[in-house]
Structure 1
Amino acid sequence: MEDLKQLNACQIIERAKTYESRMKSLEKSISEFISGGSELADTEWIKQEYAELKKIIKKEHDYFSKQKNDISDISQVHSAYQNGILECSAWGFSSRIGSGINQDLFNSIEEAEYKLTKFLADLDEWNN
């Protein structure tokens, strides 16, 4: 994983928006599957994407858990991103990898997306 201290605020925003976009896409696919449009939903992709996002967010959480990797004093964007990742990992992705594609999985992703973006949403950089 790259050193997040080296990224500028724009790069941090882009990183968070990429994660948010992936989560929204996953939510859409899960929703289609749950509502009976299973022929439109790629169940293997849903499982793989969930596992990959959970793993990525966990790696970033572990990165921030080390004191030397604290980026909260670089900028408001860095601080909001760090707080979002920590909460996203702690409260989102609560479904087990390999569990069924159901409402619990959807809620897990929805919570992860909310936690990731809740601190960033108040920043001008996020809304531009």
Structure 2
Amino acid sequence: MTVTYVIDGSRVTGLERFWDVIGEAVNGPGGYFGRGLDSFADCLRGGMGTPDDGDFVIEWRDHTVSARALGHEETARRLRGLLGRAHPSNLPQVREELAQAEAGAGPTLFDHLLEIIRDETAPGTLRLL
């Protein structure tokens, strides 16, 4: 039986809020389902609330609201936070991505989240509504 997890995109006001919303959608109030892009990908692979057989759907309602909240401004904010923690060999890439985000160009956090979901789950798992 397919399980459906609903992301209420109108509740996503930034990346930190996204982690809360997806955690609650999958694991109930106060639930955890990653708090970083890598841990989110790990959670999607199973064992953190989703069925072991991978038979689930993520229904992202009001995804356009989330897309705005997780757009270039929020992407730039996250990248600025990474500058102080990034390995020196990664700094040029982080700086380039930050410059793009500040210019309103390049992929956004929303784009990255969609890519992770599509890469880590079966085709058709993600439904944008």
Q: Decide: shared fold, TM above 0.5.
A: no
The structure where strand makes up a greater share of residues is: 2
Q: What's the TM-score, normalizing by structure 1? A: 0.30
Q: Return the TM-score normalized by structure 2.
A: 0.29
